[in-house]
A and B are shown apart, each in its own frame.
Chain A
Amino acid sequence: MPATTLTNSYDAAFVAEVRRESEQNLALCYQCGNCTAGCPVSFAYDFPVNQIMYLVQTGRKMEALTSHAIWLCASCETCTTRCPNDIDVARVMDVLRHMARRENLVAEHSIHAFWNSFLSSVERYGRVFELGLMASYIGKTGRVLTDADLAPVALRKGKLTFKPHDIHGVAEVRDIFKRYREHRS
């Protein structure tokens, strides 16, 4: 493992940004590990969640934002529920994904692609259209066998429709996306 030069590894602007966007003060964290202890996805992480918190505490921006862990977080809120210092850990994970996305540092492309497809579906129809979502996702990732085994079952049970569930106010939903993009640009 390469040595970290602490003299210049602390990115104060990054620490401040996480604090502002998440409304959480990571200085409160004393690294007990409760968050990792209860994390259901930790086995798949590159950094356990307490180490992600440590990277934020110590201002190590690139390591935090390029981690896979922030994308794999299932938002189950166990960490937030158990933190002895009342840090909303899951919210910090959310904010790190927001930042990684903005800075094009996405480590888990398929998850990112799925979310984009999902939101496109919402923007287009107002509600999620599963078949359209899957087609879009497969188009983005080339993963043609995704849940191919489930489709026949779902169709047989009447749980998949070929028609999107669009709503009358879809224009309002599209406007939300439009104003949101203007607000963020």
Chain B
Amino acid sequence: MSRRYAYYPGCSGQGTSREYDSSTRAMCQELGFELIDIPDWNCCGSTPAHAVDHLLSASLVARNLAIAEDMDVEGIVTPCPSCLKNLKTSQHRMLRPEFHQEVQRVLGRAVRADLPIKSVLQVLVEDRGIGWIAQQATAPLTGLKVVPYYGCIMNRPPDVMRFDDPENPMALDNLLTAIGAEVLPFALKTDCCGASLGTTRRDVVARLSGRVLDAAAAAGADAIVTACPLCQMNLDMRQAQINKANGSSHRLPVFYYSQLIMLATGQQGERVGLDKLCVSPFSLLESLGPQAGEVRS
């Protein structure tokens, strides 16, 4: 049975994480989720908005919530944890009636702020179940050694996010195991990569993201798997920057989990967007043999 959700792509999905957006849409289509874009959605304001004013942040979020409330959907989903945290935190703060009123004044329209808001990962795991997804994996990624990297805010703060364990989340671990990958224990799975300081404090990012790359390599991983466009950009696009700053020489492909699910269900092509990754995964995937599909660049 198809599930209907309002889809909030987030700004990065149109730019630096196009392949996350396209592979997520494709994956959802394959797995029976109907994603309907929130019409004319606007930016949630991300870290700059909440760092400047919680009212501004919540009002930017609220416009999207209000539009989604007119749609016939079960709830709102987004692939981006940063958008998710902003959406959910603003909704949570609007539980206080005075703040809710203030937001409606600034927004200039009524908003109920009561639709369930979840990550695409969460609905995948909760609505479909790991066992079912395992059955769809017709081309399992046997032999692919990965570490799952959730980033810091997919599950935090737990009172707001209400998904998985905030210290040792397992959703990605279980999902990747289900599609045949070998998931290595990864102690840094929820550590921060420094995304919000990406442009402004490269030194901080080089240190934090560098630590994640070092730990993944030390664990013996062939690749890192993320569910966050900001983490992915830091680890992938900035990998060369980080190598330079730290004197390291990592060449670790950094996948979106949605790309790997596509591969494991036998899907390829433009929607998967493997060619968009800065650190090329093709030689790694070819080394896995025929099970991983006839993947070509």
Partners in one complex: yes
Give me the interface of A with B, judged by CB distance under 8 Å: 40-41, 43-44, 72, 74-78, 80-81, 88, 90, 94, 97-98, 101, 108, 110-111, 114-116, 118-119, 122, 126-128, 130, 134, 137, 146-147, 149-150, 153-154, 157-161, 165, 167-169, 172-173, 175-177, 179-180, 183-184
Collect the chain A residues with CB atoms within 8 Å of residue B112's CB: none
Please report the number of residue pairs spanning A and B whose Cβ atoms sit closer than 8 angstroms: 172
> Which of these, A115, A157, A165, A173, contacts B51 with CB under 8 Å?
A115
Collect the chain B residues with CB atoms within 8 Å of residue A114's CB: 48, 199-200
User: Closest 9 A-B residue pairs measured CB to CB?
Assistant: A115-B48, A76-B152, A76-B192, A77-B156, A40-B192, A118-B48, A128-B11, A126-B42, A80-B157
Chain B 246-272, CB-CB to A under 8 Å as 1, else 0, gives 000000000000000000000000000
Contacts A179-B108, A180-B56 known; A40 to B194 CB distance under 8 Å?
Answer: yes
What is the minimal beta-carbon distance from B65 to any residue of chain A, in angstroms?
13
What is the minimal beta-carbon distance from B198 to any residue of chain A, in angstroms?
8
Chain B 36-62, CB-CB to A under 8 Å as 1, else 0, gives 000011110111111111111001100
Whether A110 and B237, one on each chain, are in contact in the complex, defined by CB atoms closer than 8 angstroms, is no
> Which of these, B85, B108, B166, B237, contacts A153 with CB under 8 Å?
B237
Q: Which of B69-77, B128-136, B141-149, B203-211 contacts A (4 or more CB under 8 A)?
A: B203-211
Give Cα A150–Cα B237 distance, bound, in whole angstroms. Answer: 7
Whether A41 and B106, one on each chain, are in contact in the complex, defined by CB atoms closer than 8 angstroms, is no
User: Besides the contacts A76-B153, A111-B201, what 5 more A-B pairs have beta carbons closer than 8 Å?
Assistant: A97-B52, A110-B200, A111-B200, A153-B237, A176-B59
Whether B197 and A72, one on each chain, are in contact in the complex, defined by CB atoms closer than 8 angstroms, is yes
Give Cα A81–Cα B107 distance, bound, in whole angstroms. Answer: 30
Whether A158 and B276, one on each chain, are in contact in the complex, defined by CB atoms closer than 8 angstroms, is yes
Q: Does B278 contact A (CB under 8 A)?
A: yes
Q: Which of B14-22, B218-226, B285-293 contacts A (4 or more CB under 8 A)?
A: B14-22
Collect the chain A residues with CB atoms within 8 Å of residue B199's CB: 114, 134, 137, 146-147
Whether A130 and B51, one on each chain, are in contact in the complex, defined by CB atoms closer than 8 angstroms, is no
Give me the interface of B with A, judged by CB distance under 8 Å: 11, 14-18, 40-43, 45-56, 59-60, 63, 85, 102, 105-108, 152-153, 156-158, 166-167, 190-192, 194-197, 199-204, 207-208, 237-238, 240-241, 275-276, 278
Whether B43 and A122, one on each chain, are in contact in the complex, defined by CB atoms closer than 8 angstroms, is yes
What is the minimal beta-carbon distance from B194 to any residue of chain A, in angstroms?
6
Whether A177 and B56, one on each chain, are in contact in the complex, defined by CB atoms closer than 8 angstroms, is yes
Q: List 14 A-B contacts (CB under 8 A).
A: A40-B194, A41-B204, A74-B152, A77-B156, A80-B157, A98-B53, A115-B52, A122-B42, A126-B42, A147-B202, A159-B18, A160-B15, A165-B15, A179-B108
Give Cα A153–Cα B17 distance, bound, in whole angstroms. Answer: 13
